[in-house]
Every structure is written in C-alpha cells, then in structure tokens.
Amino acid sequence: MSAQGDFYVRTNPLEALPPPAHRRGLWGWVRENLLSSPLNIGLTFAGLALLWWMLPPLLNFLIFDATWSGTDRAACLATAERPHVGACWPFIHERINFFVYGFYPIDQRWRVDVFFVLLAIGIFWPLTPRAPFRRLGALYAFTVLPIASAILLLGFAPLGLPPVATSLWGGILVTVVVASVGIVFSLPLGVILALGRRSRMPMVKLFSVIFIEFVRGVPLITVLFMASVMLPLFVPEAWAPDKLLRALIGVALFAAAYMAEVVRAGLQSIPRGQYEGAQALGLSYWRMMGLVILPQALRVTIPNIVNSNIALFKDTTLVFIVGIFDFLRTIEVARIDPKWATPVTSATDYAFAAIFYFVLCWMMSRYARNMEKRLAAGQRRR
Amino acid sequence: MSGARDDAPPKVSPFYDARVRAVVFQVLLCALIGYLAYSAITNAAENLARARIASGFGFWDSTAGFDISQTLIPYTTQSTYGRAFWVGLLNTLLVAALGIVVATLLGFSIGILQLSKNALVSRIASGYVEAVRNIPLLLQLLFWYNAVLKALPNLRESIAIPGGALLNNRGLFLPKPIFGAGLDAILVGLALGVVGAIAIRFWARRRQALTGRQFPVFWTSALLIVSLPLLLAAIVGFPVTFDYPEMGRFNIRGGVEILPEFAALLFGLSTYTAAFIAEAVRAGIQSVPHGQTEAAYSLGLRPGPTLRLVVVPQAMRVIVPPLTNQYLNLTKNSSLAVAIGYPDLVQIFTGTVLNQTGQAVEVVAITMAVYLTISLVTSGLMNLYNRRISLVER
C-alpha cells in the first residue's frame, strides 16, 4: 500500500472561469455604471428624464421641424397643416454674407477672404506640432501677418487696393480682427509685464503690478468705455483714433494684463538652477531670458495661453456694447429685420451664433488639452 | 593684504555697472510715464475746455432727472446723481450676491455629479459644463432676455403660477408677504434656536473630548432652528398675510415685481459661473489622493465623516483660490447688465449719467474705482479664509 499513489496533486492550474454573466458585456456595464444601488438607479432615471425633456425639443427645433427653404417670413410661419415650426434656416442663408462681412463693399470682399486664408496659415503653421519651420511660422504670425492684413483690409492705393473705412467693416470679420489683434499684441505685452513684475528694479515692478492689478480688478466693459470715451480726450484732437482702433487698444491692454499673469505662472515654474546656470555662462539678462528661460516657460504655458485666448475670443462680444459692428451686433441687427419677423427668428439667430462660438471655442480647448497631454508625456509614469 | 584687495568689488566702467544701469533705466521709465501722464492731463484739459464740458465732481449733487426701473432705496426723478449712483451700486451688489449664492449651489452640485460613478449623470454634467463654458456670456444673456423672457405671453394672457404668482413678458409677479403684530415672537424664537444650536455644539464638543461619545449635532440644531420659530408662530397665530398680485387693465397691482432684466441677468450669470465653479470643484476633489479615503476607511470612519473630515477639508484648499476668482468674475460680469437694460452701476452711471453730463473722465473713474474696491475687498477676505484653511507646514 504505497501511500503515494492515493494522493492526487494537480500540476496544471485550472482554466480561469469567465466572469459571472451579470458582470459581462453591455448588460454588465449597465448594471455596474447605471444600476449599482438604489441611489444610482434614481440618478439614472433623473438623467433619462432630463434628456427626454431637453433633447427631443432641441432636435425638433434645429432639424426635424426646421424650415430649410424659402424666400421670406411666410416660409417660417406656423400654418394649420404645420403647427410646429422650428428654426428658420433660409433666413441665416440669406443673411450669411452680412454676418461674415458686415457692410464691406461687395466688390472688395475677396480681400476679406484672402485675409481669412492668411490668418488660417498664421494659426495652423506655428501651432501644428509636426509642421516644418515652426519658428518661421511664429515669426510670420507676429510680423508679416499683421502688416499684410492691415494693407489688405484697410486698403493701400499704390497697390491698387482702394481704402475701406473701418466703419464699413462688420460681422465675423470684425470679431476675428478684434480677437487676433488682442492675441498678437497681448502676448509680447504680457511677457514684458510679467518680466517687469518679477524684476528686481522697484519702479519697474511697481508700474507692472499697478497696471496688472488695476486692469484685472475692473470689468472689460469699463476698460472699453475708457478706451472709447476717455482715450480721445487724452490725445491731441488731430490724433483722435477711430472707433475700431479705440476698441482694439482697450481689448489688447485688457488681454495683456491677463496674459502677464499666465506667463508669470510659467516663469515661476522654471527652477532656479536654470537662471543660475544661464548667469554662470555669462549671459546677459535679455539673452538669459530669450535663450534659456522664456523658451521653456512659454512651452509649458501653451495650454494656459490658449485657454486665455478662448476667454479673449468670447470677450470680443463686448465690443458690441461700445458700438462696434461685430458678429453679435450683426446677429442683433438681423434679428429685428421685418422681412423675416417670425416668432422663431430670434431663437434661430441666437442658435446660429451659439453654434459658431461653440465650435471655435471647443476646437481651441481640445487643442489646449492635447498640448497639455503632449507636454506631460515626459512626466507620465509607464 | 592681498586678501583685502580681493574682497573689494571689481572695478567696472559705469556703463556696464548693473546698479548704475538699473538706476538710469528706472529714471528714464519714470520720466516717460510722467511725460505721458502730463501730456494726457494737459490734452484732456484742452479738449474739455474746447468742448465746454465742466470738470470736477460738481454734478454729484445736481438733479438727475431720469427714472430707474428698479430701486432698492427711495429714488425719484428729482433725486441727485449721487443718489442714482447708490441705486446702481445696490442693484449691482444685489445681483452679484444672489448670483454668487445660486452659482455656488449649482456649481458644487454639478461638480460633484461630474465625478459620479453613474456614467449617464456624469456625462450630462460634463456636457453642461462644455456647452456653457464655450458660449460667450453676452450671447447667453441676450438669448435668455430676448428669446425666452421677452417671448412670454403679454399682460392679458399672463401665466398664473400656482400659489398666486403671475408670469408675463413684463416680469414675474410674486405675492408679497405682510407681517402683522407678533412678528417679534417669531424672531425671538429664531434667535433662541440659533443660540441653542451654538450651545449644543459647544457641549457636544466638550463631551466628545472628555468621553469620546458623539452627539447628532447637525440634526438637533436643524430641528431647533426650524421648530422654535414655527412653534411660536403657531402660538401667536401665524401673523403673515399675503398681498397677491392682481390683474389690472393696463398693469398689475400689488405683489412684488421681479423685472425680466433682473431675472435674465441672474439666471445667465449663475448658470455661466456655475460651469466654471463645477470645474474647480471637480479638480479640487480629484486632487485628494485616493489613499486618504482608504486610510480613513481603515481607521473605521464611515463614508459620511470621511467626506466631511478628510476629503472636503483637503479639497477646499485647492478649490478656494479659483472659487475666489469666479466670484470676482461674476461680480465684474454683472456689468453686462448694460446690454439687456438692467439698471446696474454701469448702465446707470457710464450709460445715462455719462450721456447727460458728458463728464467721461470722472464718471468712468468712479465706476472703475468701485469695481476695484469690490475686487480688492473680496480677494482680501478670501485670502484671509484661504490662510485659515491652508496647510501649515513646519
């Protein structure tokens, strides 16, 4: 009777059992995420009720009940056979040129189109991570683009471009001009202010702090009022800037103060050793900043710079209050047009504007998020 | 001897001396800014004299002569510009204070829902945040005012809300409570309740420190604060009557009127700011490491106290600074009232008063000074609070 043969010792591990049926597949996911507890079930039903209450009316308004063709308000009015009328899209279609160009002379509108193309190059070239010659792209965006745009949009007689007064500009053109001027001027100004705030010279620091804190402490609206009613008083009468330029100055100064704080945060994230290393190599202040500190600081602040530009882009709507004919103003003007006066015109108009702003801001915020991930790649644990 | 010479600073020409350069640069900067300020002042004086616009603050005491649709303090067309200023300031503070309360409640709820384990709810919350944050506030305000509130039925076809309120395109009309004799009893009850709650809190703390036994402080306090005034009100026989709004021929008599401008501004501001607060709350809660919760559980704390004693205090340290910024933004954004005609400080002062007097410099300066003061006071208070809750390290 050898004892050995009676023992049964398993040498191979058992085949792993699949997870129980109620934890697998779609149903498993639903149980786990939507129905795991009474509170969770309640939340799910509340969420479904909210969606049921909001989504169908929204989709009906924007798509299913919407009017897609027509020539005037009659197409968008409720009738006996069509009691529910949604968005009035032919109205947007008819007014789209007004929304884009404002009162820019019709035969000169190609200049605006060229400007949009130049601007798109100026945005995508330096910001695409794998684009060739990105530095050249940045140089283009901050030097060539502003000058070329000014010549193109304002007109330059020797080149055969008749001048167009800024009072005729309008719509998306003005919104884009205000936003890009704000961005192009606020970055260098913001860098200078941020360096000033961290300077060891007391007077430089004092002026920078006063400017930054003052501008950040007041609403943009009051800065715009100041630019539009006080600025003309402060310069000799002959120099009084035109209305759009005044708003541009106000927006650029406002954006610069916020940009300064963003850049300052970036400067603070650079370790002391970098400054000391640069100084030990004998670099002067400006070379230290330009060659060592700022390239690193600006790189890590790209996501924040983009976020602050999103805020600036949304804030450009405020120039409407000081009488600039921006996109929102064209929306407001078109809304009360008697030719298209229907109960749904206002809502259609605002929906169009909301989609415009949402798409652009959302794209910018996606870009910022991707950049953040890219920059964090070095720190990610594997 | 040679050591003494080595200690002496090396000789550099003044042109390359950092200190000399700093002094020269700062003197030049001061001179430039001084020159700019001087020329701005002389130009302004010249331009104002040419346009025959008075300067100084003499207009403060002259008759305003315009009407204001919402006044928290007595105001007529015969009142002074100074009075109009206070009316506008109070309206701004009213909408900002209410907006901050609503936005905080909404923002914290949405921020917590964003972190919910329920996939549907967290996605709805994130969708709300994305949608609201990416559309300009001004557009949202115009939408609520022009497309929603102004599209309500007119006076004749007012919507009657159960409870005696009326809603139409001229605003929301609520019943107005009128307190009769015996109100003092209710207030005394309320005061007693609050004092009792504080006393119980002290007693419970002491007892827990001495014996370790806990006491349900929150529920007892809530019961005291609610039930005592109610009990006393029942004894004196509920001395509150309501003045219901009544439909007249051309307008509505009685009740409390809430202007559509006010409603749109309050609603737009709080829903917009709530999205930003929600993001701050989400980031704050996510910044507390999971190990903290696990450690609390292993010490035997239940989920409620874990949240209250471990997670929230640590999350608040991260939440408070951006929250302060959002409160300030909300206050500053209330100036967008000018676009929909709510009589706030900017609408009254840089709008009507500026147009009537033409004294741009004084009017804009006063308005900016007010917002600057509000900003500095708020951030000062929040810094105090922040210092109290911030981590004390060595």
Angle between helix axes A294-315 and A243-268 (nearest 10 degrees) is 140
Among A140-154, A196-210, B114-128, B171-185, the minimum mean pLDDT is found in B171-185
Confidence of residue A1 (pLDDT cuts 50, 70, 90): very low
Q: Is the CB of residue B131 less than 8 Å away from at least one CB of chain A? A: yes
Average pLDDT over residues A221-229: 90
Checking if the pLDDT of A174 tops 50, the result is yes
pLDDT tens digits, residue range B257-281? 888 899 999 999 999 999 999 999 9
> B255: which DSSP letter?
S
Average pLDDT over residues B314-323: 87
Nearest to B127 by CA among A332, A337, A55: A55
Checking if the pLDDT of B2 tops 70, the result is no
Please judge whether A229 and B135 are an interchain contact, meaning their C-beta atoms are less than 8 angstroms apart.
no
Please judge whether B121 and A43 are an interchain contact, meaning their C-beta atoms are less than 8 angstroms apart.
yes
Nearest to A245 by CA among A307, A169, A328: A169
Please report the pLDDT score of residue A315 as a whole number.
Answer: 92
Average pLDDT over residues A198-204: 89
Please judge whether B120 and A44 are an interchain contact, meaning their C-beta atoms are less than 8 angstroms apart.
yes
Average pLDDT over residues B43-58: 80
3-state SS class at A18: coil
**Domain A165-373 belongs in CATH node 1.10.3720.10:** yes
Contacts of A341 (CB under 8 A, 6+ apart): A73
Which residue intervals of chain B are DSSP H helices?
2-7, 18-50, 81-114, 119-133, 137-142, 183-211, 217-236, 260-286, 290-298, 303-305, 312-333, 337-340, 345, 354-357, 360-389
Please report the pLDDT score of residue A379 as a whole number.
Answer: 61
Q: Is the CB of residue A335 less than 8 Å away from at least one CB of chain B? A: yes
CA distance A40 to chain B (A): 6
**Start-to-end C-alpha separation, chain B:** 45
Give the global pTM: 0.86
Contacts of B148 (CB under 8 A, 6+ apart): B264
3-state SS class at B110: helix
Average pLDDT over residues B167-186: 79
The interface residues of chain A toward chain B in range 245-264, judged by CB-CB distance below 8 A, are none
- String of DSSP letters for A31-93: HHHTSSSHHHHHHHHHHHHHHHHHHHHHHIIIIIS-B---SSGGGGS--SS------BHHHHH
Q: Which two tokens stand for residue A192?
A: 């200078």
- ipTM above 0.90 for this complex: no
Nearest to A100 by CA among A151, A176, A178: A176
Among A37-51, A279-293, A302-316, B53-67, the minimum mean pLDDT is found in B53-67
Nearest to A213 by CA among B376, B214, B20: B376
pLDDT tens digits, residue range A93-143? 888 999 999 888 888 888 999 999 999 998 888 888 788 888 888 888 888
pLDDT tens digits, residue range A326-357? 999 999 889 888 888 888 888 899 999 999 99
- String of DSSP letters for A217-280: HS-HHHHHHIIIIIHHHHS-GGGPPPHHHHHHHHHHHHHHHHHHHHHHHHHHTS-HHHHHHHHH
Q: Give me the residue spans of the domains in chain A.
A: 165-373
Average pLDDT over residues B195-205: 90
Q: How far apart are CA B72 and CA A169, in angstroms?
A: 42
Bigger pLDDT: A204 vs A71: A204
CA distance B61 to chain A (A): 23
